[in-house]
Amino acid sequence: MKYENLLITTDKEVAIITINRPTKLNALNKATIEELHHALKDLAKDKKVKVIILTGCGEKAFVAGADISEFANFSEKEGAKLAAKGQKRLFNFIENLSTPVIAAINGFALGGGLELAMACHFRVASHNARMGLPEVSLGVIPGYGGTQRLPQLIGRGRAMEMILTAGMIDAAKALEFGLVNYVVEQEHLMDLCKKFAGKISNNSPVAIGYAIKAINAGFNNSINGFEAEIEAFGSCFGTLDFKEGTTAFLEKRKANFPGA
């Protein structure tokens, strides 16, 4: 598939997706959401790709929000459909992807941009990054999972403050809140993300997929997270990765995981 709004590169076992709409500060429109879905789906099928890094083009913005011009005149029904489709096609899709996705937040991550970063498995930010959910200043609320994921990450009170004030926080505050895992100078952002990707790539991709599934289960009220962990733990024993990992440990050598 040819992508008009994305740049995709691979470096060994790491794929880098760059949202490439610099004149729009990489704002998410329907076309970009659809392209991201297909790109992530294809990369997840590629057994050579162990980790995906998601970032924005340029030095100003990761994703500075959604493309408001696309939905400014929507009806209630159209608005609900927009949120439902977006959550299913991209935000929930990323969260449940068995291939880890690291958000490299290289600037503004606002509205749908912060929701996109929060859907990733963890986040690293540059010092110039600014984050917020300003939707209530437009007479709407976050619709791509922001009201759910932000409290999970930083707590209910802080999430209420951020959403209700429509304010932005800087990278240092995001680190203090636990919204991002690390903050670095912008020129070192991708290097650090690649470093983490390299560490992840050394491990069993099958076990990583099960771990993501079990962790996510703990935040789903309809699922018993402990039971999900037990099931996933047991499933690992039937994989070639488990046989290779345990054999390599006993033989005191580095594991070469087949990914099955």
Could you give the residue numbers annotated as active site?
115, 135
In sequence order, what are the residues at sequence separation of 6 or more whose Cβ sits closer than 8 angstroms to the Cβ of residue 4?
A: 31, 35
Strands 14-19 and 6-11: antiparallel
| Terminal Cα distance for the chain, rounded | 27
3-state secondary structure of 105: strand
Question: CA distances (Å), 192 to each of 79, 104, 170, 174, in order?
Answer: 38, 9, 19, 17
Given a contact cutoff of 8 angstroms between Cβ atoms, the answer to whether 66 and 87 are in contact is no
* Helical (H) or strand (E) element with 7: strand 6-11
What is the spatial distance between Cα 242 and Cα 191, in angstroms, rounded to a whole number?
Answer: 30
Residue type, 165: T
* 28, β-bridge pairs: 66
